[in-house]
């Protein structure tokens, strides 16, 4: 757990989290040392990660939970508002709940990198990733999957499951690719900077659901 005492310590912990998230997104959690995190955060003390978080593993846990909890809260809010409206909920509505809450997860950071971090981490440390979530911070996502199955009545159950796996992988990889392109300031990212690109992502996810 993060230990918050004085404001200066809180700011130092935030700087460490920003530095770690960016480095983890670029190189994966196994490719980054606590010394590198401290240096990137402007901390002279190489033990800063241990002081504020206890260990590198606890820092990773904190970063996962911070982002997952925020995304989950956004998804639940959107779903509750749609269900309370009394109107028919479309496939595109549900897919939008899966996409848009994952954008700007840490707006105070210099660049978006949470999706890159989480995709790499979940690929290389799947069991640990699921253990950290513990079924607590993905309830909104699970509600979305229940809706998706309702839109896939034309498919056998096994095929529905395959489509859901495809959608999960597609969503993560596209959002991670978007972040990587937006972080590349050496060129103009016309496609990825357009809000309409996310709408197009939703449309292509809908095509996966509706395909015969």
Residue among 163, 174, 157, 173 nearest 206 (CA): 163
Helix (H, G, I), strand (E, B) or coil at 110: coil
DSSP string, 4-66: --SHHHHHHHHHHHHHHHHHHHHH-GGG--HHHHHHHTT-S-TTHHHHHHSSHHHHHHHHHHH
pLDDT at 11: 87
Q: What is the pTM (predicted TM-score) of this model?
A: 0.88
pLDDT digits over 53-67, tens only?
999 999 999 999 999
Judged against a pLDDT cut of 80, whether residue 141 lies above it is answered with yes
Judged against a pLDDT cut of 70, whether residue 1 lies above it is answered with no
Task: Report residue 73's pLDDT band, with 50, 70 and 90 as the boundaries.
Answer: very high
Stretch 162-180: mean pLDDT: 96
Judged against a pLDDT cut of 90, whether residue 114 lies above it is answered with yes
Long-range contacts of 18-24 (CB under 8 A, 24+ apart): 18/106, 18/108, 18/109, 18/110, 20/49, 20/59, 20/60, 20/63, 21/63, 21/106, 21/109, 21/113, 21/114, 21/117, 22/109, 22/110, 22/111, 22/113, 24/60, 24/63, 24/117, 24/120, 24/121
Integer Rg of the chain from CA: 19
Judged against a pLDDT cut of 90, whether residue 6 lies above it is answered with no
C-alpha angle 130/136/139, rounded to 5°? 100
Task: Report residue 95's pLDDT band, with 50, 70 and 90 as the boundaries.
Answer: very high
DSSP 104: S
């Amino acid at each position: 757990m993060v230990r918050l005492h004085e404001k200066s310590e809180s700011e130092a912990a935030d700087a460490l989290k920003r530095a770690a998230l960016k480095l983890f997104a670029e190189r994966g959690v196994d490719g980054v040392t606590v010394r590198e995190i401290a240096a990137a955060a402007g901390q002279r003390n190489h033990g800063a990660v241990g002081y504020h978080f206890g260990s590198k593993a606890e820092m990773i846990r904190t970063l996962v939970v911070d982002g997952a909890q925020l995304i989950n809260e956004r998804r639940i809010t959107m779903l509750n508002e749609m269900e309370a409206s009394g109107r028919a909920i479309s496939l595109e509505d549900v897919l939008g709940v899966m996409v848009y809450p994952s954008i700007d997860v840490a707006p105070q950071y210099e660049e978006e990198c949470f999706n890159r971090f989480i995709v790499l981490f979940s690929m290389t440390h799947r069991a640990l990733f699921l253990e950290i979530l513990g079924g607590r911070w993905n309830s909104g996502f699970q509600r979305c999957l229940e809706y998706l199955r309702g839109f896939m009545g034309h498919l056998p159950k096994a095929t529905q499951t395959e489509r859901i796996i495809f959608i999960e992988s597609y969503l993560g990889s596209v959002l991670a690719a978007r972040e990587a392109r937006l972080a590349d300031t050496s060129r103009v990212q016309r496609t990825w900077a357009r809000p309409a690109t996310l709408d197009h992502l939703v449309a292509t996810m809908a095509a996966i659901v509706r395909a015969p």
